[in-house]
Chains A and B, each alone.
Chain A
Amino acid sequence: MSRSDTSGTGMISCDHCLQETSGESSIIVEINGEHKVFCCKGCLGVYELIHNNSLDAFYYQRCGWQPGPPATEVKLQASSFSDTVTISGNEYHIELLLSGIRCASCVWLIEKFLIKIDGVVSIRVNYATHKAAIVWIGEKVSLDTILHAIRSIGYLPHPCHGNATADLFAQEKQDLLLRFGTAGFFSMQLMLFTAALYAGFFEGIEERYRLAFQLISWALATPVLFYSGFPFLSSAFRSLRRMTLNMDVLVALGSMSAYFYSIAMIFYGGEIFFDTASMIITFILLGRFLEAGSRLKAGNAIAELAELQPHEALLISENGETAMVPIASVKIGDLIEIIPGDRIPLDGTVVEGDAEVNEAMLTGESNPVLKESGSNVFAGSFSMNGRLRIRVTGNAGNTLLAQIIRTVEEAQARKAPIQGIADKTAGYFVPATIVLALATYLYWKITSASTVTALMNAVSVLVIACPCALGLATPLAILIGTTSAGKRGILVKGGDIFENVSKTTSVVLDKTGTITTGKPSITDLHDYGLTPSFMQHLASLEAASEHPTGCTIVAAWKGELLKTEQFRTIPGRGVSGVIEGTHWRSGSKAFMEENGIKIDSEQSAFIASLETEGKTVVMVACGFKLAGVIGMIDDLRPDALPLIAGLRKKGFAMTILTGDNRGVATYIAAKCGITDVQAGLGPLEKSAVIRAMKAKGECVMMVGDGINDAPALTEADIGVTLGHASGIALESASVAILNDDLRLINTLIKSSSRCFSIIRQNLVWAFSYNFIALPLAMSGVLHPIISALLMVVSSLVVVSNSLRLKKI
């Protein structure tokens, strides 16, 4: 391995950061009788600190660490963190974003190191988000000390600005949980007394118990109505003022009239319906709470994209000094520096230095891209190695990343109209019910001249018309349908999506990583016969390379490997090394030409023909002669064909959208028999294509896995992603196939149409229940207690019908 490989090159890797260092510039120190090598003073400092705190386990535990030096020399300003500190008593809280976290052991190291500081109460580092939550005693230790402690072990703290949308949703969800929980606890207590009163109504009850139970019921129902039911009351009030009646008016009116009627009945000696009043609130709050959960997830998708955006940049002033400044104060044309392992804060052009940059979140390209003087870099991508100086071309809020975030936000906001349809129906349903209740009251008041009878019948109408079963009909079926789909590895993110799946008319497929494997495989191998063991030499050369192309070649060779000396990687070009005394090179055409290797016209034509088929071409040279050419392509997944066959049987129109070049796309499309292919599309263009399809009235399902698919996944009516997909794709998609089996998409469509037919049955039941029960209530046949019971029965029918979805 590279750590011990010191053969002849004088290169040795640093014991802290694992980066290669040459013999002269490295620092060698004896620690505990062992010689340790460091590339710089920074690494030595960090190593000593970790060693002195007996946290050496870090070095044995870490795996998956990407070599790179620590960021110990950057200036920190505690003042820029102070506004994110919250104080409760003598405990201070802060949330920080840490850069430089490279592996899970970093989390362990930071937690163990900081907890040793006197005054630090607790520290939690989230590996996925790179966020640290720290609590400390303000009198014992200052924020400055903590920040410098983090920096001293090689991690850079940044102020963490919460995402307003996600915070708001989280707050709303917690608020609803409190209200629903309260309603639940009080309703449960209330039910005990109501059961006793019900029994008393039929069997007879002593008057003092009756009164006591009624008074207790009153006390228990009051918080449910006025605390838990507050959102309905205020929404109903607002809608009344705007003269547009929504569902909340009926909820408020039904529960309130039952409540006030019950209070009156305590004094008139009639039956009470506090249970009806509070159960209405409880059931409908449950629905709201489940809905809030799905909206919180949507908010998180934006938060995750926004988290890619650093909030500070290292600005280089005219006299050459660097300072950490907020990105808002960086202007177009300013120079900023990017240290290795950090995210690029703003779009810009490289003016100095070169580095391999991971742009996976913008382009979907998983291989790092070489950036050198003159190349453009984008905010949110990160430099894997090497230091860059860039001239800013897009300021804060104007970067490609900001544009993608805005697109995702807009697409999510436009989903609201579906909810509007329900409210529109309620717009006719609500006033009609109120009119009916009033008419009932007046009719009975005039004919029987008894206020109690008239009021009871009117409440009966309101109670029976209350959209309880109607409210449950859709969400419950979807909830059960989605959970049973979840058990099969299909994660549906709630709500209307599951219902929408059954309305799909066309399916859009992403290519790379979705219907193809995402890993190249060798399709063409041309050996020019320079050596008898061409593949063995090539595999031996590539064995030390970490590039995906190299891994494919090594995987294809099953035999023995030869020893490679003087191995070198030329970023963006290829690799070279000496095997059995001969110099071997493998890489791109440009790499060959730069090293004076001749390519004749026949070979050129062959390479060109491979390239037109969209294949990646790797050329191999032995000495100064071309030894062979290899063509690779990212091929179809085995489960893609069953999926496409299933979709075709259902008669869906299918389209392939890809950011890849036309050659590959056509090859893949022809292989799976799809004629509609659009190649070379960026993330925003993909979503534009889907928007155009939607404008034509199609219901679009998008299947994709890359971050570049995120806007398209959100734009589509149904966004389906795979379990191996990037985090953002997972968050923006409405459906995730967790075990990566594409055939499950067919299962999803089947179970969704079943769910939709159950919803239809539920709705038919709930509506016909209302149509039959309403006239009965108006005619005075139904006592309000019977009405309430009927309402529960109606809900039960809906519940048990929905439960049938458990068996898919």
Chain B
Amino acid sequence: MISTFYLIGIGLFVGFSAWLLFIWAVKSGQFDDPEAPKYRMLDDDDEPAKTVKPAKKKSP
């Protein structure tokens, strides 16, 4: 029956990771602006993608 305890451990670990992910998301401002993203996708990128993409990845 020791496997029950393993499963409990795994369950707790997954739940705890999800919680940490949530904390990260709140702290890094993922929930700050629910409005803007839907407009940004309409922006045209006439420029070569290279100059734009790295910046978008790095932005917090």
Contact = CB atoms under 8 A, between A and B. Distances in A.
Q: A and B bound?
A: yes
Given A115-B52, A122-B55, A108 B11 contact: no
Interface stretch (A177-185, A272-280, A471-479, A671-679): A177-185
B51 interface: yes
A116 interface: yes
Nearest to A219: B12
A112 B47 contact: yes
A700 to B, nearest CB: 30
A174 B19 CA distance: 15
Interface in B7-58: 8, 11-12, 15, 18-19, 22-23, 26, 31-32, 36, 43-44, 46-47, 51-52, 55-56, 58
B59 A186 contact: no
Nearest to B23: A178
Contact of B51 (A116, A189, A192): A116
Contacts of A61: 44
A192 B31 CA distance: 28
A436 interface: no
Given A177-B26, A209-B4, A108 B44 contact: yes
Contacts of A188: 15
Contact of A189 (B11, B23, B43): B11
A216 interface: yes
A121 interface: yes
B6 interface: no
B4 A177 contact: no
Contact of B59 (A122, A170, A178): A122
Contacts of B47: 112
Contacts of B46: 57
A621 B42 CA distance: 49
Interface residues of B, number: 25
Contacts of B4: 209
Contacts of A108: 43-44
Given A108-B44, A121-B58, A185 B8 contact: no
B36 A122 contact: no
Contacts of A135: 58-60
A126 interface: yes
Contacts of A192: 11
A177 B31 contact: yes
Contacts of A174: 26, 31-32
Nearest to B42: A104
Given A178-B26, A192-B11, A209-B4, A185 B18 contact: yes
Given A108-B44, A121-B58, A185 B22 contact: yes
B8 A216 contact: yes
A148 interface: no
A2 to B, nearest CB: 27
Given A57-B46, A108-B43, A185-B19, A115 B55 contact: yes
Nearest to B43: A108
A126 B43 CA distance: 12
Contacts of A126: 36
Nearest to A192: B11
A494 B31 CA distance: 19
A124 interface: yes
Nearest to A58: B46
A796 interface: no
Contacts of A116: 51
Among B4, B19, B44, the most chain A Cβ lie within 10 Å of the Cβ of B19
A126 B32 CA distance: 14
B38 to A, nearest CB: 13
Nearest to A177: B26
Contacts of B56: 122
A205 B5 CA distance: 15
A216 B19 contact: no
B55 A121 contact: yes
A212 interface: yes
A314 to B, nearest CB: 32
21 contacts: A112-B47, A112-B51, A115-B51, A121-B55, A121-B58, A121-B59, A122-B59, A122-B60, A126-B36, A135-B58, A135-B60, A170-B32, A177-B26, A177-B31, A178-B23, A178-B26, A182-B19, A182-B23, A185-B19, A185-B22, A216-B8
Interface of B: 4-5, 8, 11-12, 15, 18-19, 22-23, 26, 31-32, 36, 43-44, 46-47, 51-52, 55-56, 58-60
Which 4 pairs of residues, A with B, have the shortest CB-CB distance? A122-B59, A185-B19, A189-B15, A57-B46
Interface of A: 57, 61, 108, 112, 115-116, 120-124, 126, 135, 170, 174, 177-178, 181-182, 185-186, 188-189, 192, 209, 212, 216
Given A108-B43, A124-B59, A135-B58, 20 more contacts: A61-B44, A108-B44, A112-B51, A120-B55, A121-B55, A122-B58, A122-B60, A135-B60, A174-B31, A178-B26, A181-B26, A182-B19, A182-B23, A189-B11, A189-B12, A192-B11, A209-B4, A212-B8, A216-B8, A216-B12
